[in-house]
């Protein structure tokens, strides 16, 4: 019980700073990017299900086969922006990308 009282509480950002790296470091930027990529796949799956479409039906709308939709929902790392846009168009959903300019040292301007 004493161990619990002596534990320092940390925010999620403090934990990420300590174990992954501070914001603006290559390691932290890579981590944040990977996290956003995973979320994109989950968003596609969620909207597809809301629209009551199977992976096969969505694939037909986009012009790809079911296995490509499955891969897209699980791992969006190796997909083009064009494909992502086609998927969201087929789902009748808007998507917005944010582009942030980095300085020479990979920090936000």
What is residue 102's three-state secondary structure?
Answer: strand
**CB burial string 56-82: b at 16+ within 10 A, e below:** eebbebbebeeebbebbbeebeebeee
The pLDDT profile of the chain, 109 residues, written as one tens digit per residue, is 555 566 677 787 888 888 888 888 888 887 777 777 778 888 899 999 999 999 999 999 999 999 889 988 887 667 777 888 889 899 998 877 665 656 666 555 4
Domain 12-90 fold = 434 Repressor (Amino-terminal Domain) (1.10.260)
The verdict on pTM exceeding 0.75 is no
Cα 48 vs. chain centroid, distance in angstroms?
16
What are the distances in angstroms from CA 105 to CA 22, 24, 53? 13, 8, 44
Q: For the chain, what are the domain ranges?
A: 12-90
User: Are 85 and 40 contacting, i.e. CB atoms less than 8 angstroms apart?
Assistant: no
């Amino acid at each position: 019980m004493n161990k619990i009282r002596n534990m320092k509480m940390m925010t999620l950002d403090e934990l990420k700073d300590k174990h992954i790296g501070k914001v603006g470091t290559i390691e932290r930027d890579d981590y944040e990017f990977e996290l956003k990529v995973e979320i994109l796949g989950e968003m596609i799956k969620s909207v597809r299900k809301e629209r009551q479409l199977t992976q096969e039906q969505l694939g037909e709308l986009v012009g790809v086969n079911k296995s490509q939709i499955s891969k897209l929902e699980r791992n969006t790392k190796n997909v083009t922006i064009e494909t992502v846009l086609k998927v969201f168009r087929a789902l009748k959903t808007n998507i917005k990308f944010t582009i942030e300019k980095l300085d020479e040292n990979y920090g936000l301007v």
